Every structure is written in structure tokens, then in C-alpha cells.
Amino acid sequence: MPIQHVSDTARWVAVYRAMESERPDALFRDPFARQLAGDLGHEIVRTMKNGVGAAWSMIVRTQVMDELLLRRVRDDGVDCVLNLAAGLDARPFRLALPSTLRWVDVDFADVLDYKWTVLKDATPSCRYERMPADLSDATARRAIFAALGREHRRVFVIAEGLLIYLGEEDVLALARDLHAESSFRWWLIDLASPRLLKWMQRSWGKRAADGQAPFRFAPEAGTGFFEPAGWHELEFRSSWRESHRLNRKMRGAWLWGLIGRFSTKRQRRESERMAGVVLLVTSNGTGRG
């Protein structure tokens, strides 16, 4: 069983970043991805059902998150990025970010230590820091949030590939803790629908659950789930639509497109929102102020 812990999924995703980076028409370049993935990452992809075929969705997710992050940093004066369950994300080392920007990775100590063994000789474009913590420990995460909240005015939070592994109560508690800090203006996440969750559980669910990484979070209310905690949808980027824009379509996309022509408007909307990248903002609805 290649996956032994939820943190191993970071190696899985790193393989897809490596695959994209090595294309001549790559959407992004992550020169560290293959080494970060290691043998374990490649073994996970090799043994997973449709392991290589699933690359498109993670590649699209990475590119769209890059775009949304860079736009906010450029246009809205973000002074700190808080990367929750940062895993093997190398954005501060591969993106052109302002040197004055503070970037804080939070994850298990062993994950951050492993990543640092790979990246220690690389130069980040911004002020990079590691803060080891177990995010399921409410006291620990609130201490980190409070410290950053006191030191910054415009914090952009990322939780890429995290929420799917949490229960609804856990996500709601995290959302409330983030909202408690007035300087935390934006929250970038990826979100699955209940329909997609069922497909993931059928395809990879047993392997993931046996590796202590069960797929869990896909709220019926979609982004409305976050509203009681003070977060509202500012942008939803459909994985399906973005895959066409970026020319990274799933295998058989033409068939699903054909089926979509005979679907109702409601059915097409549901299909387009099966999965996507969401930019949430605090209750003022803009993330500004």
C-alpha cells in the first residue's frame, strides 16, 4: 500500500506537477516536483486506478490557483500568504512573488523537514518560513492564526488538497478560526461535489482509506456551506471549463461534451460545478478594506 498517511498524497500530486513541467508547452514549471515526489509518489501514481489519466485535474487545479494567487498579490496588496497543509507545494520557489511578501507553510514537521531537504539550496522569491503544526489541534492552529493576524493586514490563505480529507465539523471549525482574524481576507480552496465524491470513493476510496486518507468532504450546499462561518464565494473556477481553456482536457471529454448538449441547463450547471477552485472572501464580500 503506497499511501500510508494523508501526507503521502502530496507526493502523488507532485508527480503530476512534474509531468506538466516536462511538457514543451507546460502551463507552469516546477523544477523541484520530480525530486519532491520521489519513488513513493511515482509508485502511488503507478498503482492507482487511472493514475496517469487523472493528471489533468491536478494540473488544472495548480494552474488556476497560481493565477488567482498572483492576481491578488499583484492587485490587492497581499502582504502574507498562509499555506495550510502545505505539503510539497513549491510556489514560493517557483513563482515570481514580491520579495517583501511573507509566505508561511504550515504542515506536519516531518513533511516540512522532508521538503526542506529538497529545497534548502533553492532561493525563494519572497520571505519564506516553515511553521510545523498539526492543523487538527485547534489550540495550535489558533495560535498561529492569531500571531499572523497581529502582524499583517492582508492575508491570503491557501488550503489546496486539504478539505476533501476532513469532516464537515472540522471544516466548519477551521473556517470559523480563519474568519476570527480580521486580516485574513481571502481563502483559496478546491471543492468537490457529492456526486464527484461518490465517484472518487468508488475509484480510489478503498486505497485512500486504507492509507489513512479517506475522502470525506463534499458539502451538499456547495460554497454555501461556508456562509455561516462568514466566508462567501467570490470566484468559482470550474475544473471542466478551465480544462478546456487551458487545453488540459480529460480523456473522453468530447463524449461528455456531446452528452452535455442534450442536458438541461440545471444539469449542465451541476456538471460544471462537480469540481473546481474557489476563492472565498470574508463577509464584506470583497476581501478588501
Question: Could you give the CA distance from residue 211 to residue 220 in angstroms, rounded to a whole number?
Answer: 26
CB 77 within 8 A of CB 101: no
The strands making up 127-132's β-sheet, listed across from edge to edge, are 127-132, 102-107, 80-84, 155-159, 184-192, 275-282, 231-238
Determine the number of helices (DSSP H) and then strands (DSSP E) in the chain.
12, 7
Question: Could you give the CA distance from residue 198 to residue 194 in angstroms, rounded to a whole number?
Answer: 6
CA angle 149, 150, 152 (to 5 degrees): 65
Q: What is the pLDDT along the chain (289 residues), one digit of tens a residue?
A: 578 888 889 999 999 999 999 999 999 999 999 999 999 999 999 988 888 988 999 999 999 999 999 999 999 999 999 999 999 999 999 999 999 999 999 999 999 999 999 999 999 999 999 999 999 999 999 999 999 999 999 999 999 999 999 999 999 999 999 999 999 999 999 999 999 998 888 777 676 777 777 889 999 999 999 999 999 999 999 999 999 999 998 776 545 665 666 667 776 677 788 899 999 999 754 554 4
**Strand positions, DSSP E, the chain:** 80-84, 102-107, 127-132, 155-159, 184-192, 231-238, 275-282
Task: List the grid coordinates of 122.
Answer: 533553492
Task: List the grid coordinates of 137.
Answer: 489541534
